[in-house]
Structure 1
Amino acid sequence: MEQYTIKDLARPSGGLAMLAVDQREALRIMMQSATGIKNITDEIVTNFKVSAARILSPYASAVLVDKQFCLDEIVKTKAIAPSSNMIVSSDEFIPGNGIPVDDVRIDTAIDAQEVRAMGGKALKLLVLWREDEDKEKRLAMVADFVKKCHSAGLVSIIEPVVRPPRHSWGFDKEECILKAAKELGDTEADIYKVEMPLGGKGNYQALVDATAKLNDLIKMPWVILSSGVAPDLFPRAVRAAMQSGASGFLAGRAVWSSVIGAPDQEMMLQDLAVPRLKRLSEIVDEAMAAK
């Protein structure tokens, strides 16, 4: 069986310009906030995800989707462009303490061989990192996830996201992003999806320096995510990260969040989100050419 590699998710330049539409209850909350409509149905969420995949995938080297809302419909309608590739989320979100994702485990309902048969080339796992939680448990979950991916010849993508500790007040997010990278950046995973330091704000050289620290700690190809970064700052964040050694991005909100709640979302995806994604992809290509 062929083992897919990072090259199977890349642009011709070798860079990764990947789109995320795997947000779940967080997307429903975004829609409620943007529209004032409390009853955002599963169908509404699914329709947006499928439209985003169909309209934006021609400009993305890969698209990250989820089983809960859109995988089956995206496969059924062939929404992802032939020039792009499919990644499937393999994380089960556990709500608690008033937030949609308080804990995460590997979703046993996601069959890696089935994903491959559907045309998927990679799986993704969110890993919540809290300093006061069991390091060995996290490492074991990542090892199990990587084994699951590689048993089906799929690329494994881990997404460590730091959270405040459960049992104390002290939390330095920037320091924790580095600690998580040190702990999880030397696993057998194929790609590390990391939070952008400093929220992408501040002096450009400070961003380069901060992402260079990540590059020193992460011993695999890495990409940045856009959650927590303003859409207008994300292109600069991608450029800084690429300068420090990143392979690209895997982002959703920076591309399509401002479209949520628009009267004609499909038109806005075309008019606003497509140019944003095209520009981000160009930044990746330019950085790869300069390496």
Structure 2
Amino acid sequence: MTSTLTPGRYRGLKATSLAEADVFGIIAFDQRGSYRKMLPPDTGYDQLVQVKSEIIGALSLDASAILTDPVYGLRPAMQMSPKAGLLLALEKSGYSGDSSFRRTELLPAWTPEKIRKTGANAVKFMVYFHPESGALADELEALIRRVVSDCHTWDLPVFLEPMSYSLDPAVSKDSAEFAAGRAEVVIETGRRLSGTGADVLKMEFPLDIQFNQDRDDWRAACIELSRASSVPWVLLSAGVDFEQFKPQVAVACQAGASGFLAGRAIWKEAAAMSTADRAAFLRDVAAERLRQLLAIAAADARPWSDFYAAPAAVENWYESYA
């Protein structure tokens, strides 16, 4: 069952897709706080922008789109390949509250209207979310709905990124205890938040592969996530190494994902390199990683057009378009 998108949202998804298919192969480099930690503490703003520009510029030659941020990403967005679409992050980096009660905040003075004015094709909005966090989950869902409505007012599609976390301060996210319930958390999050109006979900792999290497289990969990979500979903990399991420992309795409939206698994080694070494790494290693993932997505990912239809081209359509 497909729903009909408005012209801007449909064009936004088209512009961020592979040219040969309605699937996504997007590079993410919207990190801010964690990005600063990759470089020496005395690294200035201009150098942070320059490194991001070099990485984005190289990978935009092949990626279907680039996700970046307004803090360091303006120059990269202006200099990247025009063949790639552009997504801009809306949220403030990090979270407020403590580690077991995480609130998401919007970046001050940054709005969907401004994102539309930059010429970007889509908005990315990240929230820390746990479906069992009670009133906080309800509060965040209401925030998501408001953000989605604001973005849709400007006819921008929304890629919603819910990140799971532990509600127990004594249980870390990378522990076996959290891993035991991770699939339930991720899948229920997909079920719940796919009903908020977001156009695409940017989802974590539903299993922690350091505790489960059974690919039949991987596939079953991804199939369950695909069934739970009423909108297309793409796989994020969550900072894992490329050798771990590639098989996750393969399984996820075979099980219903519409591609990937990944960053550090592809480019993270490049950030701290010298300019010359970075250029060589991006050309010889990162670009090849990206091409391998793009081939998987093109062959196996589920087209987002299974979910969405283009607006009808009826006479005088523009008169009622608002």
State the TM-score, normalized to the length of structure 1: 0.88
> Which residue matches 1:66?
69
Distance 1:200 1:41, change over 3 A: farther
Aligned residue among 54, 59, 71 for 1:56: 59
- Mapped partners of 1:111, 1:132: distance in 2: 27
> For the Cα contact (< 8 Å) 1:19–1:250, is it kept in 2?
yes
Deviations 1:92-126 (A, max 9, x none): 12456898x95422335223233223220100111
> For the Cα contact (< 8 Å) 2:96–2:105, is it kept in 1?
no
> For the Cα contact (< 8 Å) 1:13–1:288, is it kept in 2?
no
Aligned residue among 223, 226, 232 for 1:221: 232
- Mapped partners of 1:103, 1:289: distance in 2: 32
Deviations 1:173-230 (A, max 9, x none): 3332123222212221100000012245512222111111111111101001001432
- Mapped partners of 1:256, 1:265: distance in 2: 10
Please tell me whether residue 252 in structure 1 is matched to residue 280 in structure 2: no
> Which residue matches 1:148?
150
Superposed counterparts of 1:189-204, under 5 Å: 189-200=198-209, 202-204=213-215
Structure with more of its chain in strand, by fraction: 1
Superposed counterparts of 1:83-94, under 5 Å: 83-94=83-94
Distance 1:203 1:246, change over 3 A: same
> Which residue matches 1:113?
113
Amino acid at match of 1:24: R
Which structure 2 residue ranges, 5 or more long, are not aligned? Answer: 1-5, 172-176, 307-322
- Mapped partners of 1:135, 1:162: distance in 2: 12
Stretch deviating more after TM superposition (205-214 or 102-111): 102-111
SS of the aligned residue for 1:265 comes to helix
> For the Cα contact (< 8 Å) 1:93–1:102, is it kept in 2?
no
Superposed counterparts of 1:164-243, under 5 Å: 164-165=166-167, 169=171, 171=178, 172-200=181-209, 202-243=213-254
> Which residue matches 2:290?
277
Amino acid at match of 1:183: R
The structure whose Rg is larger is 2
Distance 1:94 1:259, change over 3 A: closer
SS of the aligned residue for 1:88 comes to strand
Stretch deviating more after TM superposition (228-237 or 37-46): 37-46
Amino acid at match of 2:262: A
Distance 1:151 1:96, change over 3 A: closer
> For the Cα contact (< 8 Å) 2:258–2:302, is it kept in 1?
no
| Identity %, equivalent residues | 26
Q: CA deviation at 1:168?
A: 7.0
Amino acid at match of 1:188: G
Deviations 1:9-65 (A, max 9, x none): 11121110001010111111133xxxxx33233333221211111110111111001
Which structure 1 residue ranges, 5 or more long, are not aligned? Answer: 32-36
> Which residue matches 2:3?
none
Amino acid at match of 1:39: D
CA RMSD in angstroms comes to 2.5
SS of the aligned residue for 1:50 comes to helix
- Mapped partners of 1:278, 1:109: distance in 2: 37
- Mapped partners of 2:8, 2:302: distance in 1: 27
Deviations 1:141-181 (A, max 9, x none): 11111111111111111000011116775743333212322
Aligned residue among 45, 48, 51 for 1:45: 48
Q: CA deviation at 1:258?
A: 2.2
- Mapped partners of 1:204, 1:129: distance in 2: 26
SS of the aligned residue for 2:207 comes to helix
> For the Cα contact (< 8 Å) 2:194–2:230, is it kept in 1?
yes
Stretch deviating more after TM superposition (272-281 or 222-231): 222-231
- Mapped partners of 1:155, 1:97: distance in 2: 29
Q: CA deviation at 1:274?
A: 0.7
> For the Cα contact (< 8 Å) 2:259–2:302, is it kept in 1?
no
> Which residue matches 2:310?
none
Q: CA deviation at 1:281?
A: 0.6
SS of the aligned residue for 1:91 comes to coil
State the TM-score, normalized to the length of structure 2: 0.80
Amino acid at match of 2:230: K
